[in-house]
Amino acid sequence: MAEEIEDTVAFDVEGGIAWVRFNRPAKRNSMSPALNRRMMQVLDELEFRDDVGVLVLSGEGAAWSAGMDLKEYFRETEAKGQGAVRKAQAEAYGWWRRLRWYRVPTIAMVNGWCFGGGYGPLFACDLAFAADEAQFALSEINWGILPGGGATKVVVDLLSMRDAMYHALTGELIDGRKAAAWKLVNESHPLEGLKARVAEVAGILLKKNPVALKATKDAIRRVAEMTYDNAEDYLVRAQEAANSFDNEGRKEGIRQFIDEKSYKPGLGAYDK
C-alpha cells in the first residue's frame, strides 16, 4: 500500500505537551521528501496552539531517525535534476530551521537509531534526552559523502574538535551514554524510563513564563556567535522586547480607531 503523506508523522497533544513522532518505522524513520513536507505542516499546526507549551520529538519503533531516506531523498530526487534536489533540501532544512526557532521549548527524545541527517533536527531541539540503548553515527563517510545538511556544523558546535573529527571520519556508532558524555545530548536513561524523564523536564518548563522561555532559548542560540559586547547589547534589547510582548497598548490603539473612532493611525498617535 502506498504511503500517505499524513502517515509519515504522528502526533498527539496531552497536558501541554505536543508529542510528535517520526512515523515511518518500517523505513527506520528515514526522512523522505514527504516526511519533510508533512513535518513542516505539523509544526505549523502546533506552534501557536494555546494547549501546546512544549514539543517533544521522538520516533515510532526502533529508530529516532535513520537520517535522510537514501532512496527517496537522494537517489530518486537526484534523478529528477538539480531543481528537485534544491527543493528537497529546502523542505528538509526548512522544518529544522523552523524547529530551531520554535515558539515553545523543544525536546528531542532519542529512542533509537540516529544517523546523519537526523543530527539536523537533533540540534534543532533545545534539549535532547537519549535512551542508553540509542545508537548515533555520522554514517555519511560509510557511503561516500561528507556530513552535509548541517551535520558537520552540529558536531563542531556540540562536541570537542577531537570527538567531532573522530565521529565524522570513522562513522562509528556511539550509544546514548557516550552521546551524553560527549554532550551531544543532555542525558541518557534506560529506554524504559526515558519518557518519564522527558515528561518530568517538560513539566518543569511548562511552569515557566512562556515569553521568557522563548526569549531565553533564542538568546542562548544567538549569543553563541556574538562578541561579549554585542551579546550584552542584544540581551538588553531582547529583555526589553520581552517586557513589552504583552503590551496592551497596541490593542488600545486599535480600539480607539475601530470602536471609538477618536483618531486615525495614518494621521497621528492614539491617546495613551
Among 10, 13, 70, 85, binds ligand ACO (CB under 6 A): 70
Residues 164, 179: Cα–Cα separation, whole Å: 11
Residues from 7 through 66 that contact ligand ACO (CB under 6 A): 27-28, 30, 66
Residue 25: CB minimum distance to ligand ACO, A:
9
Q: Within 147-186, which residues bind ligand ACO (CB under 6 A)? A: 149
Minimum distance, C-beta of residue 70 to ligand ACO, in the bound complex (Å): 4
- Give the whole-angstrom CA distance, residue 31 versus residue 180: 24
Is residue 113 near ligand ACO by the rule CB under 6 A? yes
User: Grid coordinates in use for 67?
Assistant: 537520517
Closest approach, Cβ 113 to ligand ACO, in A, equals: 4
Q: Do 47 and 104 form a contact (C-beta atoms < 8 A)?
A: yes
Among residues 144 and 266, whose Cβ is nearest to ligand ACO? 144
Of 28 and 37, CB closest to ligand ACO: 28
- Cβ pair 125, 160 in contact under 8 A: no
Identify any residues that bridge with 199 across adjacent strands, giving them in sequence order: none
Q: Are 165 and 131 in contact (CB under 8 A)?
A: no
- Please, which residues have CB within 8 angstroms of residue 149's CB and are 6 or more apart in sequence? 68, 89, 92, 93, 116, 117, 120
Phi and psi angles of residue 260, each rounded to the nearest 5 degrees, phi first: -85, -25
Asked if 104 and 55 touch (Cβ cutoff 8 Å), the reply is yes
Using the minimum distance from each CB to ligand ACO, give the nearer residue, 65 or 106.
Answer: 65
Out of 6, 51, 71, 204, the residue judged to bind ligand ACO by CB under 6 A: 71
C-beta of 139: minimal distance to ligand ACO in Å?
A: 3
Residue for cell digits 563542531? Answer: 156
Return the residue of 59, 117, 121, 150 that touches ligand ACO, per CB under 6 A. 117
Rama region for 117: left / alpha / beta (φ>0; ψ in -120 to 50; rest): alpha
Could you tell me which residues are beta bridge partners of residue 11? 20
Segment lying near ligand ACO (by CB under 6 A), choices 85-93, 99-107, 111-119, 225-233: 111-119
For ligand ACO, the closer CB: 117 or 121:
117
Count residues near ligand ACO (CB under 6 A): 16
**Least CB distance from residue 1 to ligand ACO, whole Å?**
13
Cell 492614539 sits on residue: 270
> Of 107, 140, 242, 256, which lies in the binding site for ligand ACO, with binding defined by CB under 6 A?
140
Query: By the criterion CB under 6 A, which residues form the site for ligand ACO?
Result: 27-28, 30, 66-71, 113, 115-117, 139-140, 149
